[in-house]
């Protein structure tokens, strides 16, 4: 069975990583247009760097939860027949043991140079404007996908959806495209669809089945079911 899993901020919530749109989410303290657009970065690069530097530093205090661990266990069983597509920029899937992960909205532990376009692994702050390891210019930005930018790996994601037997969406509000459209894409080509989310997402009616509750409970149960 070929499975494509889409994850969002909700899968990392029980690890202590804030979501975006919940009451205590990241957008609560920041207007999205102030931090998650290229225009915001052009206008206030230091403020945007501080937002991402704080989130990068906070990765040191969080750990994968049972939902991440269950997906890694599923990959152990399915191998190349499982693809995890995450909107998250944390590294909790990898730390749980998943290896087949596409970060469609980029990664906190990566920086991209706006001059030479090199992507570099990055663990330090960017707010002190360090030089690009490749070209030496001080034009590094967080390697994340902001509104108006094209997400990574879209061709591979669409190919995987086309070829899947099951699409599972975990912990995402379904508010942001193109990820929010994956369920429609999957359904249109006859792929079965399942939502696992704390509450009904904006796209819940498009899924063949929806289960509501914390990912740390729902995901291990679903993986156990699938592995029989």
Catalytic positions are 105
Q: Report residue 160 as tokens.
A: 């995987």
Residue 203 in the binding site for ligand BJW (CB under 6 A): no
| C-alpha dihedral sign at 62, 214, 23, 102 | positive
Contact 89, 107 (CB under 8 A): yes
Quick one: 132 or 176, whose CB is closer to ligand BJW? 176
Contact 87, 176 (CB under 8 A): yes
The residue with tokens 């530097």 is 53
Which residue in the set 4, 5, 6, 14 belongs to the binding site for ligand BJW (CB under 6 A)?
14
Please give the residues from 72 up to 111 whose contact with ligand BJW meets the rule CB under 6 A: 87, 89, 105
Residue 187 in the binding site for ligand BJW (CB under 6 A): no
Output the smallest distance, CB 136 to ligand BJW, in A: 26
Give the three-class secondary structure for 20.
coil
DSSP symbol at 196? E
Quick one: 63 or 165, whose CB is closer to ligand BJW? 63
Output the smallest distance, CB 79 to ligand BJW, in A: 26
Residue 10 in the binding site for ligand BJW (CB under 6 A): yes
Which residue in the set 24, 31, 42, 150 belongs to the binding site for ligand BJW (CB under 6 A)?
150
Q: Report residue 65 as tokens.
A: 């939860």
Residue 193 in the binding site for ligand BJW (CB under 6 A): no
Residue 210 in the binding site for ligand BJW (CB under 6 A): no
- If you write DSSP's letter for every residue of 163-181 in order, what string do you get? H-SEEEEES--S-STTGGG
Residue 96 and residue 70: Cα distance in Å, rounded?
A: 9
Output the smallest distance, CB 1 to ligand BJW, in A: 23
DSSP symbol at 138? S
Give the three-class secondary structure for 110.
strand
Residue 149 in the binding site for ligand BJW (CB under 6 A): yes
Which residue in the set 4, 17, 19, 92 belongs to the binding site for ligand BJW (CB under 6 A)?
19
Give the CB-nearest residue to ligand BJW.
10
Q: Determine whether 217 is exposed, middle or buried from the number of CB atoms within 10 Å of its CB (0-12, 13-18, 19+).
A: middle
Which positions lie near ligand BJW, rule CB under 6 A?
A: 8-10, 13-14, 19-22, 25, 36, 87, 89, 105, 144-151, 154, 171-173, 175-178, 197-199, 201, 214-215
């Amino acid at each position: 069975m070929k499975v494509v899993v889409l994850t969002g901020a909700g899968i990392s919530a029980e690890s202590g990583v804030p979501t975006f749109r919940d009451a205590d989410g990241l957008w609560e303290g920041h207007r999205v247009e102030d931090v998650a657009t290229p225009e915001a970065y052009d206008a206030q690069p230091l403020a945007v760097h501080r937002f991402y530097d704080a989130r990068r530093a906070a990765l040191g205090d969080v750990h994968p939860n049972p939902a991440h661990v269950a997906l890694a266990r599923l990959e152990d069983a399915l191998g190349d027949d499982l693809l995890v597509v995450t909107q998250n920029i944390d590294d909790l899937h990898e730390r749980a043991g998943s290896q087949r992960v596409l970060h469609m909205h980029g990664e906190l532990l990566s920086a991209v140079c706006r001059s030479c376009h090199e992507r570099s692994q990055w663990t330090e702050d960017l707010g002190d404007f360090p030089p690009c390891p490749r070209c030496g210019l001080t034009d590094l930005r967080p390697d994340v996908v902001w509104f108006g930018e094209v997400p990574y790996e879209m061709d591979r994601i669409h190919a995987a959806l086309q070829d899947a037997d099951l699409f599972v969406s975990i912990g995402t509000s379904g508010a942001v495209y193109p990820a929010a459209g994956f369920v429609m894409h999957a359904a249109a080509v006859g792929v079965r669809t399942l939502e696992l989310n704390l509450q009904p997402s904006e796209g819940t009616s498009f899924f063949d089945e929806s289960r509501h509750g914390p990912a740390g409970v729902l995901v291990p149960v679903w993986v156990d079911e699938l592995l029989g």
